[in-house]
């Protein structure tokens, strides 16, 4: 993570995105200046303490997501949204807002994206719920294991 210039005295904000495979999403955000931590985990469901096996086998109604801690004086929520659109599988994606301001920015960003590609964007925008950290083996996955088979389906091209 590019956090060597982070001022730990400044308050951090949180963003939560689901965009398909959390390993890919985690890697895409860890590289950004102003991002202090990115955690892989599960959110959006009702089961307490979901596990990877329960989520991927659909025993739990949670989805894979990332929780991003960022310094808003170094990177804006809008910049995070831009990175989200560039790196997520939009047919499986959800933006979980933590404030009304994030909701407004997410909706405006989704509308701008739809206008840009000239078709509706299926990404849901909803209030954040409990975020459960994934098991340790899923944290910093690419740094531990190198590139893995985590392909993002391009829903715009039907592939």
pLDDT tens for residues 60-89?
Answer: 899 999 999 999 999 999 999 999 999 988
Looking at the domain 13-145, which fold is it? 3.30.1060
Q: What is the set of active-site residues? A: 21
Compute the average pLDDT of residues 51-58: 89
Q: Which two tokens stand for residue 70?
A: 């960022």
| β 94-97/35-43 pair status | unpaired
Query: Which of the residue ranges 6-20, 30-44, 139-153 has the most confident prediction, judged by mean pLDDT?
Result: 30-44
Q: Which band of pLDDT confidence, cut at 50, 70 and 90, is reported for residue 141?
A: confident
**Confidence label for 159 from pLDDT (cuts 50, 70 and 90):** very low
Global pTM reads 0.84
Does residue 29 have a pLDDT over 70? yes
Whether the predicted pLDDT of 144 surpasses 50 = yes
Q: Pick from 79, 144, 131, 137: which is nearest to 105 by CA?
A: 79
Question: In 10 A of CB 63, how many CB atoms?
Answer: 20
Q: Taking Cα atoms as reference points, which of 132, 130, 49, 54 lies closest to residue 96?
A: 130
Q: Could you tell me the two tokens for 12?
A: 């951090």
Q: What is the pLDDT of residue 155?
A: 36
Of residues 143 and 8, more confidence is placed in 143
């Amino acid at each position: 993570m590019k956090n060597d210039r982070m001022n730990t005295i400044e308050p951090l904000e949180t963003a939560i995105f689901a965009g398909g495979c959390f390993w890919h999403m985690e890697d895409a955000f860890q590289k950004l200046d102003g991002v202090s931590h990115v955690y892989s985990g599960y959110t959006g469901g009702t089961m307490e303490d979901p596990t990877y096996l329960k989520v991927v086998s659909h025993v739990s109604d949670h989805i894979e997501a990332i929780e991003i801690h960022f310094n808003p004086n170094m990177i804006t929520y809008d910049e995070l949204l831009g990175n989200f659109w560039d790196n997520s599988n939009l047919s499986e994606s959800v933006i979980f807002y933590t404030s009304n301001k994030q909701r407004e920015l997410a909706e405006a960003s989704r509308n701008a994206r739809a206008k840009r590609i000239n078709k509706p964007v299926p990404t849901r925008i909803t209030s954040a719920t409990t975020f459960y950290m994934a098991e340790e083996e899923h944290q910093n996955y690419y740094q531990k294991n190198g590139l893995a088979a985590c392909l993002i389906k391009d829903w715009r091209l039907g592939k």
